[in-house]
Amino acid sequence: MITIKEVHTKSEMKQFVLFPFSIYKNNDFWVPPIIKDEIANFDANENPVFQNADGRFFLAYRNNKIVGRVIAIINWYEVNNQNIKKMRFGWFDVIDDVEVTKALLNKVNQIGKENNLAYIEGPVGFNNLDKTGVLIDGFNHIGTMITWYNHPYYKDHLEQLGFVKEKEYLENKFKFKNVDATYYNRISNIIKRRFKLKALDFTKTKDILPYVDEMFEVFSASYSKLSTFVPISDAQIAFFKKKYISFINPEYIKFVVDENNKLVAFAIVMPSFSKALQKSKGKLFPFGILRLLHARKYSKDVTFYLIGVHPAYQNKGVHAIIFDQFTKTFNNLGIENCIRTPELEDNEAIKKIWENFNPETHKRRRTYRKEIQ
């Protein structure tokens, strides 16, 4: 018999965070989170995402053993302001038993019904800065710290239970040697002269911080037309700034500004922490922090985390300025592989940005939908 219990205590929350460690033990491709950070991320007193969203955490038990987990999520801005009656679910992990998946998602359905919502979609996070999608292809490629990994049977469970494809995301990678540095340098100089733009490079985090709020304005403007977009609050921006900006190599953050020093484009790249996180097994101490710092400095793989161009400057080649700056940085650091975060399959604008790099689609992931009954 399967029992679903809601998480209420600190001890239960730790069990919630630790559960995936059991089903991915010895898996070469799963990248574990930092346990302490994951617990803090789920604390409504620390993470401002809970100011605009509800998250209810559930564990599935059989014979007093945890066999699954899920967060039932309602983003109230999405529901009340965008009139999207969506019940979200995320951080979904189960053993290979469809009955466990059924029991967990029945609980999600119940909460959606109680709140007069129309349909369920997942796995997704609270907003656009969270992880998204169940992996459906590319199981033999190492994950990243900003994507979920899962076993192949997750997709089968959802489809057996009547969930259908809602959105599909592609993950691509390319060799840095595929980037034509001479070409981007030439185009960059032309675009900068034509539109009176300049690139900003950084060596110190403190010089980046004054631009972060404006960066999110450009982020919102450039992503607002996507069907998945939900605005990021000022409190969430402050949380992001505190949690992430200080840990990202300042030379991996590039901005483009106009003649009035107003931000028109940005990109954030991170060194790959995947192998360091695997070796650390969710713990920062005693050696985890050293592994992460080593990866921060020496990793030859990078992940493009966020990139945005203000709509007023889209289709004008502004991304060439960003790539020209990264080319110079990556050459100095000996970067070999560039990995992109999940991008919507139908996002034609983003495809055009990358088309000259000979990208390889190495992973696919989906969100699934089902009407609430």
Distance CA(320)–CA(307), nearest Å, equals 12
Residues constituting the chain = 373
Coil vs helix vs strand at 131: coil
Are 2-170 and 174-363 equal in CATH topology? yes
- Phi, psi values for residue 93, rounded to 5°: -145, 140
Q: How far is CA 127 from CA 55, 229, 231, in A?
A: 12, 8, 8
Question: How many other CB atoms are found less than 10 A from the CB of residue 101?
Answer: 26
Question: How many other CB atoms are found less than 10 A from the CB of residue 246?
Answer: 12
- Percent of the chain whose pLDDT exceeds 70: 100
Q: Is the pLDDT reported for residue 183 higher than 80? A: yes
Q: Is 73:57 a contact under the CB 8 Å cutoff?
A: no
Mean pLDDT for 40-46 is 94
The reported pLDDT for the residue numbered 3 is 98
> How many angstroms separate the first and last alpha carbons of the chain?
23
Q: Is the pLDDT reported for residue 71 higher than 90? A: yes
DSSP 85-130: -EEEEEEEEE-S-HHHHHHHHHHHHHHHHHTT--EEEESB-SSTTS
* Average predicted confidence (pLDDT) for the chain: 94
Mean pLDDT for 161-179 is 95
Instruction: For helices 153-160 and 98-114, give the axis angle rounded to 10 degrees.
Output: 60
DSSP state of 351: H
Domain borders along the chain are: 2-170, 174-363
Tokens of 251: 């030379």
Q: What is the pLDDT of residues 124-147, one digit of tens each?
A: 999 988 999 999 999 999 999 999
Q: Is the pLDDT reported for residue 360 higher than 80? A: yes
CATH of domain 174-363: 3.40.630.30
Q: Domain 2-170: which topology?
A: Aminopeptidase (3.40.630)
DSSP 290-305: HHHHHHHHH-SEEEEE
Coil vs helix vs strand at 39: helix
Q: What is the pLDDT of residues 334-357, one digit of tens each?
A: 999 999 999 999 888 788 888 888
DSSP state of 202: -
